[in-house]
Amino acid sequence: MVDPQKLEELLKKSCHRIESIINNEAGKIKDESLVVKKIIDTFFKELEASGYSLDIEEYLADKLEPRSKECINIAKESLESFKESNKHIEDLTREHIVEIEKISEEENEIDVLSFKNRLELFQHDLLSELQKANDTIRSLEQEVEELQKLSNIDPLTKLYNRKALEAELEELLRPSKERKLDLVIVMIDVDDFKRVNDTYGHIAGDKVLLFLAKLLKNSIREYDRAYRYGGEEFLVIFNRATKESAKKVTERILNLIRNNKLIYKNKTIQITLSMGMTEHQKGDTAESLIERADAALYEAKKNGKDQLVIR
C-alpha cells in the first residue's frame, strides 16, 4: 500500500535538493546535460534512500527502447524503398540500352550516330547516379547495422544485454526440437551486491560489475558469449560445449573472484558469486532453459552462496 504522506515528504525533500543544485551549482557547469543528469540522479537517490528500488539506467533504457526500435524500423523501411527505386532505375537503363541497339541497326534519315551518342551519354550519367545511390545504400546499411548493435549492448559493462540474449538463444535453439544441442548456460549473481553499494557507494558497485564483465569476456572462448541479464546478474552461453568443459571454466571464474580482492579508493572489496548451470535438453525452449538455470542459481543462494549448482 502506497503511503501518500511518505511520497509527499519524499518529493518535498527531492525538490529542496534540486533547488539547491540549480541555485548553487548550475551556473558553474557549462554543459546543460550534466546539470539535468545531476538533478535526475538526485531524485533517484532520494527514492532509493527512502526504500523505493528503482534503477535509473534500466528505467531510461526501458523508456528509450521503443523509440530505438521505431528508429531502426523506419531506417529499414527507407532502405527497402530506396533499393526498390534503385532496381527500377536499373531496369529502365537496360530498356534504353535495348532501344539504342535497335536504333543503331535501322536505316533511316535521322542522324543515327548522333542520336546513339546522346543516348549513350544519358546511359553513362544514369549509371553514374546509380553508383552514387548504391554507395549511399551501403553507407545506410552500415549505419543501421551499427544502430542495431548499439541497441543490443549494455551501456555500463559493454556486454550484450538481455534483449540480445533472447534473440540469440532463440536462434541457437531453432533446431533443438529434433535433437539435443551441445549448449550450456550459466546464470551468475554477485552475492550481497546491495551491501557493496551501501558500504562503498554506487560507483564502487559499477566498478565491481565492470571487473566481472571483463573477467567473463577474458575467460570464455570466441564463440561463447556473456550477457548482462539485469542488475548484478549475468548469463553466459557456452556454445558447442559439454557440461564438463563449461564447469571447468565456471569454477575457474568462481575461484578467481573468491581469491582476489578489489581495491577501490584504498578500500578492499571482497565479493563472491553464486552460479546456476544447466545443459540443453531435447525440446528445450529459451524460457525453459533459463528457468532451469535460474532455479539452480536460487539453490546456490539458498545453500550458502559462493558456489555452483548444476541442474
What pLDDT, in 10s, does the model give residues 180-236? 889 999 999 999 999 998 999 888 999 999 999 999 999 999 889 999 998 899 999
Number of domains in the chain: 3
Q: Both 113 and 229 in a single domain?
A: no
Distance separating the N- and C-terminal Cα atoms of the chain: 38
Q: Is residue 256 part of a domain?
A: yes
pLDDT at residue 283 in the model: 85
Q: Is residue 53 part of a domain?
A: no
**pLDDT tens, position by position, 250-298:** 999 999 999 888 888 888 899 999 999 999 998 889 999 999 999 999 9
Which residue type does 67 have?
Answer: R
Chain centroid to Cα 298, Å, comes to: 26
CATH number, domain with residue 225: 3.30.70.270
Per-residue three-class SS string for 222-261? CCCEEEEEECCEEEEEEECCCHHHHHHHHHHHHHHHHHCC
Q: Is residue 156 part of a domain?
A: no
Q: Is residue 52 part of a domain?
A: no
Residue labelled with grid coordinates 570466441: 222
Q: Both 89 and 187 in a single domain?
A: no
Of 132, 151, 170, which residue constitutes the final position of a domain?
A: 151
Q: Is residue 157 part of a domain?
A: no
Pairing between strand 267-269 and 262-264? Answer: antiparallel
Q: Both 215 and 108 in a single domain?
A: no
Q: Both 73 and 23 in a single domain?
A: no
Q: Both 196 and 222 in a single domain?
A: yes
Active site residues: 232
**pLDDT tens, position by position, 68-117:** 566 666 666 666 666 666 666 666 666 555 555 555 555 555 566 666 66
Q: Is residue 146 part of a domain?
A: yes
Q: Both 262 and 172 in a single domain?
A: yes
Q: Both 186 and 249 in a single domain?
A: yes
Q: Both 171 and 143 in a single domain?
A: no
Q: Is residue 166 part of a domain?
A: yes
Q: What's the pTM?
A: 0.58
181 is in which domain, residue-wise?
162-310
Q: Both 284 and 166 in a single domain?
A: yes
What is the C-alpha to C-alpha distance for residues 297 and 310, in angstroms, rounded to an integer? 9
Pick the residue with more confidence: 53 or 48? 48
